Amino acid sequence: MNRITDVLQELFGLFVEDGSLAIAIVVWICIAAFLFPHLPGGSAWRAPALFLGLALLLFENVLRSARKQ
Protein backbone atom coordinates (compact mmCIF):
# COMPACT_ATOMS: atom_id res chain seq x y z
CA MET A 1 0.00 0.00 0.00
CA ASN A 2 2.89 2.36 0.75
CA ARG A 3 4.24 1.78 -2.74
CA ILE A 4 0.96 2.85 -4.33
CA THR A 5 0.91 5.98 -2.17
CA ASP A 6 4.48 6.80 -3.18
CA VAL A 7 3.66 6.37 -6.87
CA LEU A 8 0.59 8.60 -6.58
CA GLN A 9 2.58 11.29 -4.77
CA GLU A 10 5.25 11.22 -7.46
CA LEU A 11 2.63 11.42 -10.18
CA PHE A 12 0.95 14.36 -8.44
CA GLY A 13 4.36 16.04 -8.06
CA LEU A 14 4.90 15.88 -11.81
CA PHE A 15 1.92 18.16 -12.37
CA VAL A 16 1.84 20.24 -9.20
CA GLU A 17 5.25 21.20 -7.94
CA ASP A 18 4.13 24.08 -5.77
CA GLY A 19 0.86 23.48 -3.99
CA SER A 20 0.40 27.08 -2.92
CA LEU A 21 0.58 28.25 -6.54
CA ALA A 22 -1.93 25.62 -7.63
CA ILE A 23 -4.34 26.61 -4.86
CA ALA A 24 -3.94 30.31 -5.68
CA ILE A 25 -4.68 29.64 -9.36
CA VAL A 26 -7.84 27.67 -8.51
CA VAL A 27 -8.99 30.42 -6.12
CA TRP A 28 -8.36 33.15 -8.72
CA ILE A 29 -10.28 31.22 -11.39
CA CYS A 30 -13.20 30.71 -9.00
CA ILE A 31 -13.23 34.39 -8.09
CA ALA A 32 -13.15 35.32 -11.77
CA ALA A 33 -15.91 32.87 -12.67
CA PHE A 34 -18.29 34.15 -10.00
CA LEU A 35 -17.35 37.84 -9.85
CA PHE A 36 -16.61 38.88 -13.44
CA PRO A 37 -20.11 38.27 -14.86
CA HIS A 38 -21.61 40.60 -12.24
CA LEU A 39 -19.27 43.53 -12.86
CA PRO A 40 -20.15 46.25 -15.38
CA GLY A 41 -18.10 46.94 -18.48
CA GLY A 42 -18.91 44.11 -20.81
CA SER A 43 -16.87 41.02 -21.52
CA ALA A 44 -13.95 42.61 -23.37
CA TRP A 45 -11.88 43.11 -20.22
CA ARG A 46 -12.49 39.70 -18.61
CA ALA A 47 -9.80 37.73 -20.46
CA PRO A 48 -7.07 40.37 -19.88
CA ALA A 49 -8.06 40.59 -16.20
CA LEU A 50 -7.89 36.81 -15.83
CA PHE A 51 -4.49 36.76 -17.55
CA LEU A 52 -3.17 39.64 -15.45
CA GLY A 53 -4.23 37.92 -12.23
CA LEU A 54 -2.58 34.65 -13.24
CA ALA A 55 0.58 36.48 -14.34
CA LEU A 56 0.76 38.28 -10.99
CA LEU A 57 0.35 34.98 -9.14
CA LEU A 58 3.18 33.45 -11.17
CA PHE A 59 5.40 36.51 -10.65
CA GLU A 60 4.84 36.41 -6.88
CA ASN A 61 5.60 32.69 -6.82
CA VAL A 62 8.84 33.18 -8.76
CA LEU A 63 9.94 35.95 -6.39
CA ARG A 64 9.15 33.80 -3.37
CA SER A 65 11.08 30.87 -4.85
CA ALA A 66 14.06 33.08 -5.65
CA ARG A 67 14.20 34.34 -2.08
CA LYS A 68 14.33 30.76 -0.77
CA GLN A 69 17.51 29.99 -2.66
Q: Answer yes or no: is pLDDT of 15 > 80.
A: no
Residue 13, SS3 per DSSP: helix
At 20-65, the pLDDT tens digits run: 888 899 999 999 999 999 988 888 899 999 999 999 999 998 898 8
> What pLDDT does 32 receive?
94
Query: What would the mean pLDDT of 11-24 be, rounded to a whole number?
Result: 81
CA distance 22 to 33: 17
> What pLDDT does 34 receive?
95
